[in-house]
């Protein structure tokens, strides 16, 4: 019977945190709505830049997708190399199995890098 109460208490804790996770943002948004200054919106507020200058062209500028892909590749490889640091610090304790796993990881990174290189993703325009 005691384990049943412990089991139910675990679900009760999860339910309380779920309610808090939903309730706190709702209360915060409602309080912000009550406390914010109230003033009449001006037409200039709805312009593109709110600077008072009349926009002379469309605000949306098209970027080449290569810049996005290049930045994404940098972030991917940068984050993946961060995983090498904890392994290097604990290398002596991990043994040969961790060395093999890390070699597989590095080979997969190299395969991705070679693939990106062959597709000319890394070529800056």
- 74-93 pLDDT per residue, tens: 888 888 888 888 888 888 88
C-alpha span between 81 and 22 (Å, rounded): 37
State the sign of the Cα–Cα–Cα–Cα dihedral 18, 27, 41, 37: negative
- 32-80 pLDDT per residue, tens: 999 988 877 777 666 666 666 666 666 677 777 778 888 888 888 888 8
C-alpha span between 112 and 104 (Å, rounded): 12
């Amino acid at each position: 019977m005691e384990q049943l109460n412990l089991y139910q208490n675990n679900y009760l804790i999860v339910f309380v945190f779920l309610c808090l996770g939903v309730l706190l943002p709702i209360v915060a948004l409602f309080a912000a709505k009550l406390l914010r200054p109230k003033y009449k919106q001006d037409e200039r507020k709805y312009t593109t830049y709110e600077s008072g200058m009349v926009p002379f062209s469309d605000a949306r500028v098209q970027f080449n997708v290569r810049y996005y892909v290049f930045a994404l590749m940098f972030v991917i490889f940068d984050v993946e190399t961060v995983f090498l640091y904890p392994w290097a610090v604990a290398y002596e304790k991990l043994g040969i199995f961790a060395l093999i796993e890390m070699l597989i990881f590095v080979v997969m990174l190299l395969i991705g890098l070679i693939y990106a290189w062959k597709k000319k993703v890394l070529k800056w325009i």
